[in-house]
Amino acid sequence: MGSLQNSLESIVEVPVRKVLGSAIARERDFLAVEEPLEIRIGYHFKERPMAKSISLTMRTPGHDVELAAGFLVGEGIIRDPSEIVEIRHLGPAARNEVQVDLHPSVDIDITRLDRHFYTTSSCGVCGKTSLEAIEAQGAPGIPAEGFAVELSLIHSLPGLAREFQPVFSQTGGLHAAALFDGQGALLSLREDVGRHNALDKLIGRQFLDSHLPLRHHILLVSGRASFELLQKAVMAAIPVVAAIGAPSSLAVELANRANITLLGFVRNNQFNIYSAPWRILS
């Protein structure tokens, strides 16, 4: 199954004053840690070793190696674990800097490294440009047939995931991404203050274990289904994406174009099917 636990450094204890009606009591509370992570890439250009910073994200410490790998997969920069020589923190004191060193034979498009990665829904990129950019990255593709799941299985996913959200149980302040097989078995789960970071960690682990593409799996995300989450699902070839919250319009458009079955409001024994409904068997 792989590790389902975040490290202890993901939680911090703070003093609070809790108000109950007209009474005020001094207590302790647990918060999810949020710190910046700089992702750098080491590559060769004209046989010369180079290094470049490509992303700065606010994340919950832990599983940083997976996060970096998953981010590069989602952006179409790497496609196979053999392209990576090493993923490392830059020194013992630099826990917020990670460098992905690529094999000298890996050909990197320098202009792609200079662009602004659209990792948030407020990136300002128009829908048409965003969708075309995903297709240009060479996603592995998701067949329109060959994988379907029972309706009752979808209802069970939120409860199964909640059992393995240790940091959320203590803080209530984290997003989660969970991966299930076609029989509803939980394979892996990652938590983070950023929903896109949680999914990068999840996909990064599967990538490093050489399990991509994930054409017979189900992804459950704890919040809404935004465009950037669907982008990452497309690059990992996940056919079913279920969200506890609502999808955005661009996420639905991308799901339709990529043959992804997108489910929203998966809670309280109900959900909406926004695309590719044939994969849900009643």
**Whether 123 is catalytic:** yes
Measured between alpha carbons, how far is 104 from 125 in angstroms, rounded to an integer?
32
Q: Which residue has the tokens 């990129």?
A: 125
Quick one: DSSP state of residue 63?
A: -
Q: Are strands 35-45 and 270-273 parallel, antiparallel or unpaired?
A: unpaired
Nearest to 59 by CA among 21, 6, 100: 6
Interior/surface letters 66-84, b for 16+ CB within 10 angstroms, e for the rest = bbbbbbbbbbbbbbeeebb
The four Cα atoms 21, 24, 30, 34 give a dihedral, to 10 degrees, of: 90
Distance CA 35, CA 52 (A): 20
What contacts 19, CB < 8 A, 6 or more positions away? none
Q: Tabulate helix, strand, coil % of the chain (nearest 5).
A: 30, 35, 35
**Token pair of 270, please?**
């109900």
Of 8, 123, 126, 144, which one is the catalytic site residue?
A: 123
**Which residues does the annotation mark as catalytic?**
123
